[in-house]
Structure 1
Amino acid sequence: MTADPGAATRPRNRRQLIVGAAGRVFSELGYHTASMEKIAASVGISAAALYRHFPNKYALFAECADVMVDRLVVALDEVPASAGLADVLAAVTGVSVAHRASGGVYRWEARYLNHEDRRRLRSKFAHVVGRVDAAVQHERLLRDDRLRAVAALGVIGSVAMHRTSIAQRRAEELLLASALRVCETDPTVRGGAPHVELPALPVPRTRRAEILAAAVPLFARDGFASVTNGQIAEAVGLAPSALYRHYPGKVDILAAACLQAAGLLAQGTDRSLHDVAGPREAVVALAATYVAYSFEHTELNSVAEAELAGLPDGLRRPLVLAQREHIAVWEQQLRLVRPELDPRQARLLVHAGFGVVVEAGRVLRWRDSPAHRDAVTTLVVSALGL
């Protein structure tokens, strides 16, 4: 009997290689744009070979999400119970930076997991948060306050949400120092954040605007790929075929939502920087504005952040440029305050600030109030090192 020549060269860790490659593809392209064919190609195997390991894309995605959080759990379990906060955060930072290319699976793509898989994932992540929270309490003699622990993890996890090229060791140093500052900050002490009044969402006065307004909460709740034209049409009292009179396709509605989000943030940013006294005040104003925007326009922002990667190149390009321009404003002002930072380091910290907003907002369930805005703004400013 002749042996299969492919069997002799097939790596024993092929399933591990597939999960690693899939995590990178899902993080880069988003769940609905990633395909089994693209994942197989990134591993250097056929799609048929991929299906021998995973029955479908969902099963592969669910394992990717599990593997990422399992790495964090294992890393923390190896840290002695008596270890200090810095050691606990360093363990999380090392894993997050080493696997940054696939870390986006958990941050935004968990919406595509079914209820049971999502519950299991949240339970594992709660273990990670609990370990960090316990270290914060022990070292700082604080009462149970998960906000700081979650915000610190947001700093560290932010490295998965951008592609800034920076040496691994330097990234770990910057993120660890930023996360420690967040843990040392009392978010209940007001830091002098300015009051922010954002431009309001426009009142839908046309059928096109009504369609957009109806689609955003559906995309935010279920994910773009799961929402049908029929659901959107039903929400505005139209037949599904009538949508095409206003948008060429569902993806064009998504692009319009992302453009609306970018426009609101840009207007708010311009307002916040009007008549600021100096670069430090500018950074605080930027932080307060981004926090206000995230709390006030939570659904719109979550759709824009989660679904941007899945847009076709032609629709995505202007949005990516707007995003880069926004970050460049932060970077410039931050470097005026902290001239020791180079552009890449400043950019890394700006994204760390965004990570604070995402995770702190989640733990606060996005309940909008002046106290919540002030607390999160204070943590963002600390993450930036001001």
Structure 2
Amino acid sequence: MTVADRPARGTRPANRRELILAAATRLFGSRGYERVGISDVAEAVAVVPSALYRHFAGKDELLAAVIGDIADRFAAEIDAQTDPARTLAAAATFTLDHRPIGVLWEREARCLPAGTQDAVRARMRHARRRFILAVQAARPQIPEHQTGLVAAAVLAVLLGPSFHAIDLPRPGYDALLTELANRALTTELPDPPPAGPAAPSGGLQRTTKRERLLGAAVRLFAERTYTRVSMEDVAESVGMSASSVYNHFPNKAAMLVTALERANGYLQVMLDDTLARAQDPIGALHEMLACYGRFALAHPHLLDLLITETHNIPREQAAPLLQAQREYIDEWVHLLRRIHTDLDATRARVVVHAALTVINDLARSPGIRSRPGIDAVLTAVCRRVLAI
């Protein structure tokens, strides 16, 4: 909803609750729950904050309604399809029409209180189950044990636009997103490797207090969100006093910045090494997928921060990090366009983001990343999405 769409102040439109939900969806998706106040939502629908409380008891209830509503509507849209072949097109249109959906499900839902979050996640699980059944109907030959995995990959492609601002004219965007989702759907997944000896548990850990604190902060930020973790929480998790944390980090933001810069540095170095060894663009992209997949599977909490918490670091430090991330994607786009010479830069960027979102989403799911042979599955799906 744009400013021009707002009802005139002092009017009482019959659909005010729907207008509030639409405004909150846009604001929570673009700014993040912690950065949006009831007054911001009220301003977006041209009412005083007290008018919102006639519909929602507070911001938590409003967020729960936003996420639950979009989950219910997604499930209803999927169930409304009578032709399985049309399911992906309908889902693509829905996710583009409701672009914050991925951010709301994967980032903002974590901001809800435990009891409320459980109820909302039940509605999200219902939507995902309906989608899994639709995928099963659209491609019945998928082995039963792979259906959920394929559906997760397809849904990751469809939710990809939620995590970037790239725009294309409609309905061409719908058609491209449908095609990318169909590529994920029709990927022939490799069989899991035969069971072997269990991987050894344990391993050695860093011994310095600074690194122990940083490792704990990364895990806690990913599990609870950055804004809901205090310096005291980090200290307690490693058995240190809260005051001693400040000998290593001046504040919580410094922990987040250090973690994000370290993750970005790792990816940039791996990119340089891969390009230096590559003989052609296809070989380079194959190896880049493998490297990114290994990073994602080995460091899911760090990956989570790159995706969900960059907006929480100070602007002057966020700018160079975001620029580095854009330039990292630029290298993928450049290589992909050397292979697919008819692909313009904007569409190529959408394709690259779709492939990386598959890795991002699946690697952050504990039940998926622990599957034997998941690295080969990620590579197979992403090669198919990139058409390489």
TM range (shorter): 0.7 to 0.9
Task: Name the structure 2 match of 1:193.
Answer: none
Per-residue displacement from partner, 1:21-77 (whole Å, max 9, x unpaired)? 212222222222332233333333333333332222211111111122122111112
Task: Name the structure 2 match of 1:89.
Answer: 88
Task: Name the structure 2 match of 1:121.
Answer: 123
Task: Name the structure 2 match of 1:107.
Answer: 106
Which one of 230, 233, 238 corresponds to residue 231 of structure 1?
A: 233
RMSD over aligned Cα, in angstroms?
2.4
Per-residue displacement from partner, 1:293-340 (whole Å, max 9, x unpaired)? 110111111122111123332232122112111111111111111111
Change (3 A) 1:248 1:25: farther
User: How high is the TM-score relative to the length of structure 2?
Assistant: 0.87
8 Å Cα contact 2:149-2:368 kept in structure 1:
no
Q: CA deviation at 1:108?
A: 2.3
Return the letter of the residue paired with 2:97: A
Change (3 A) 1:143 1:43: same
Q: CA deviation at 1:141?
A: 6.0
Distance 2:143 2:369 in 1: 24
8 Å Cα contact 2:78-2:134 kept in structure 1:
no
8 Å Cα contact 1:216-1:300 kept in structure 2:
yes
Change (3 A) 1:248 1:92: same
Q: CA deviation at 1:95?
A: 0.3
Unaligned runs of 5+ in 2: 1-7, 193-203
8 Å Cα contact 2:300-2:363 kept in structure 1:
no
8 Å Cα contact 1:212-1:257 kept in structure 2:
yes
8 Å Cα contact 1:97-1:168 kept in structure 2:
no
Change (3 A) 1:333 1:90: same
Which one of 355, 359, 362 corresponds to residue 361 of structure 2?
A: 359
Task: Name the structure 1 match of 2:30.
Answer: 28
Change (3 A) 1:222 1:9: same
Which structure 2 residues correspond to residues 372-383 of structure 1 after superposition, within 5 A?
A: 372-383=374-385
Unaligned runs of 5+ in 1: 1-5, 191-201
Return the letter of the residue paired with 2:87: V
| Greater mean deviation of Cα atoms: 9-18 or 176-185 | 9-18
Distance 1:35 1:322 in 2: 31
* Secondary structure in structure 1 of the residue aligned to 2:172: helix
Q: CA deviation at 1:124?
A: 1.7
8 Å Cα contact 2:75-2:131 kept in structure 1:
no
- Does 2:158 align with 1:156? yes
* Secondary structure in structure 1 of the residue aligned to 2:110: helix
Change (3 A) 1:34 1:289: farther
Distance 2:370 2:324 in 1: 26
Change (3 A) 1:315 1:46: farther
8 Å Cα contact 1:98-1:168 kept in structure 2:
no
8 Å Cα contact 1:211-1:236 kept in structure 2:
yes
Q: CA deviation at 1:178?
A: 1.0
Per-residue displacement from partner, 1:167-197 (whole Å, max 9, x unpaired)? 131211111111111111112169xxxxxxx
Return the letter of the residue paired with 1:104: V
Distance 1:32 1:376 in 2: 33
Task: Name the structure 2 match of 1:197.
Answer: none
Q: Which has the higher contact order (CA 8 A, sep 6+)?
A: 1
Change (3 A) 1:203 1:116: closer
8 Å Cα contact 1:295-1:366 kept in structure 2:
no
Distance 1:93 1:344 in 2: 18
Task: Name the structure 1 match of 2:214.
Answer: 212
Return the letter of the residue paired with 2:111: Y
Change (3 A) 1:365 1:77: same
- Does 2:179 align with 1:177? yes
Return the letter of the residue paired with 1:164: I
Change (3 A) 1:210 1:137: same
* Secondary structure in structure 2 of the residue aligned to 1:188: coil
Return the letter of the residue paired with 1:265: L
Which structure 2 residues correspond to residues 233-248 of structure 1 after superposition, within 5 A?
A: 233-248=235-250
Q: CA deviation at 1:354?
A: 1.7
8 Å Cα contact 2:218-2:259 kept in structure 1:
yes
Aligned length: 366
User: How high is the TM-score relative to the length of structure 1?
Assistant: 0.87
Q: CA deviation at 1:368?
A: 5.3
| Greater mean deviation of Cα atoms: 205-214 or 248-257 | 205-214
Change (3 A) 1:77 1:262: same
Task: Name the structure 1 match of 2:135.
Answer: 133
| Greater mean deviation of Cα atoms: 363-372 or 217-226 | 363-372
Change (3 A) 1:242 1:154: same
Q: CA deviation at 1:144?
A: 4.7
Change (3 A) 1:318 1:7: closer
Change (3 A) 1:363 1:302: closer
* Secondary structure in structure 1 of the residue aligned to 2:34: coil
* Secondary structure in structure 2 of the residue aligned to 1:365: helix
Q: CA deviation at 1:102?
A: 4.8
